[in-house]
């Protein structure tokens, strides 16, 4: 082989080697590009997963939304079961004050009961006028029908008996209608401090809705001032109470009405001892209910 052919052969061999090297280089480059693309794709997938990942509360909401309807209803029923007893306790503490009253009988039954009992008393107190029984019946019946203000029955008499026994009997009848006990208060039961009297009465009328006040004119002046609160029919101390107040008047004559006599006697007792502009409002409240005169009973002996 001459030099020229040897040169060509070597040249061709070198070309093949160079081409082979280039191919290898290109292949490596291609492989590197492919790996890069795979890496980039994997990164994109991870970023996508992170971006669409929901927060925990969203997952919970989603689970709740996917929960079956029966499960939702079950949860609602459990909440109601917990809420209703609590509501019942609250309403019981407030005693259903809007819908219920202390009256134990319905108005019809109460009226029949009171009329029957008053007819029985007529057989005992035979010397009394029909007006007395009618006034008492109306007063108690009106209270039963609408117990939103205190009922005041003022009995005026010129003798100790039968006044005290009648007041007690009316208190017992009223207590039966209201299904409660009654309190009988003598002048000695009243403190000479107005505030103490009011607090004492407040505590008593919470449980005993019938108050019998005996011998009004002999109650001390400071205690009498508290009757401004007791007998207030607009903003009463306690609305569902029946007050049966008795007043002995040995010098009463039929020349004036019972209410005129009571006003005169109270003016005499209160004048100069309390503010003059407070006397008439107090008298007005004490006499705001039924005012009746109790006649003497010649044949009456005892209760």
The number of domains in the chain is 2
Residue 215 contacts residue 184 (beta carbons within 8 Å): no
Question: Taking the model in full, what pTM does it have?
Answer: 0.66
Q: Same structural domain for residues 111 and 88?
A: no
Report the alpha-carbon distance of residue 272 to residue 269 in Å, rounded.
9
Q: Same structural domain for residues 84 and 183?
A: no
* Residue 214, phi then psi, degrees to nearest 5: -100, 135
Q: Same structural domain for residues 192 and 222?
A: yes
Q: Same structural domain for residues 140 and 265?
A: yes
**Mind listing the pLDDT tens digit for each residue in 156-177?**
998 888 999 999 999 999 999 9
Mean pLDDT of the chain: 78
pLDDT grade for 7, boundaries at 50, 70 and 90:
very low
* Average pLDDT value for residue range 90-94: 40
Residue 213 lies in domain: 107-294
pLDDT the model gives residue 98:
29
Report the alpha-carbon distance of residue 178 to residue 287 in Å, rounded.
23
Q: Same structural domain for residues 57 and 189?
A: no
Q: Same structural domain for residues 155 and 235?
A: yes
Residue 210 contacts residue 181 (beta carbons within 8 Å): yes
Least confident residue range of 7-11, 241-245, 285-289: 7-11
**Mind listing the pLDDT tens digit for each residue in 105-141?**
788 899 999 999 999 999 999 999 999 999 999 999 9
Q: Same structural domain for residues 140 and 279?
A: yes
């Amino acid at each position: 082989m001459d030099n020229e052919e040897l040169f060509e052969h070597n040249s061709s061999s070198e070309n093949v080697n160079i081409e082979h090297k280039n191919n290898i280089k290109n292949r490596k480059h291609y492989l590197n590009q492919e790996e890069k693309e795979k890496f980039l794709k994997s990164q994109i997938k991870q970023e996508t997963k992170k971006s669409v990942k929901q927060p925990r509360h969203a997952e919970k909401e989603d689970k709740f939304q996917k929960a079956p309807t029966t499960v939702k209803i079950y949860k609602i029923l459990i909440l109601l079961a917990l809420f209703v007893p609590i509501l019942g306790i609250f309403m019981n503490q407030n005693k259903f004050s809007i819908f219920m009253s202390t009256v134990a009988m319905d108005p019809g039954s109460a009226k029949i009961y009171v009329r029957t009992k008053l007819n029985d008393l007529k057989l005992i107190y035979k010397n009394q006028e029909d007006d007395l029984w009618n006034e008492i019946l109306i007063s108690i019946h009106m209270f039963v029908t609408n117990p939103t203000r205190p009922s005041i029955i003022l009995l005026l008499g010129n003798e100790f008996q039968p006044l005290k026994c009648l007041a007690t009997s009316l208190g017992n009848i009223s207590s039966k209608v209201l299904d409660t006990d009654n309190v009988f208060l003598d002048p000695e039961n009243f403190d000479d401090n107005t505030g103490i009297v009011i607090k004492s009465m407040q505590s008593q009328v919470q449980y005993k809705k019938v108050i019998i006040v005996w011998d009004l004119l002999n109650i001390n002046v400071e205690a009498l001032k508290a009757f401004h609160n007791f007998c207030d029919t607009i903003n009463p101390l306690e609305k569902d109470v029946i007050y049966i107040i008795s007043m002995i008047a040995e010098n009463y004559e039929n020349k004036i009405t019972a209410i005129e006599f009571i006003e005169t006697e109270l003016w005499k007792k209160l004048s100069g001892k309390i503010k003059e502009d407070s006397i008439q409002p107090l008298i007005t409240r004490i006499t705001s209910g039924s005012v009746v005169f109790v006649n003497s009973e010649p044949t009456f002996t005892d209760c």
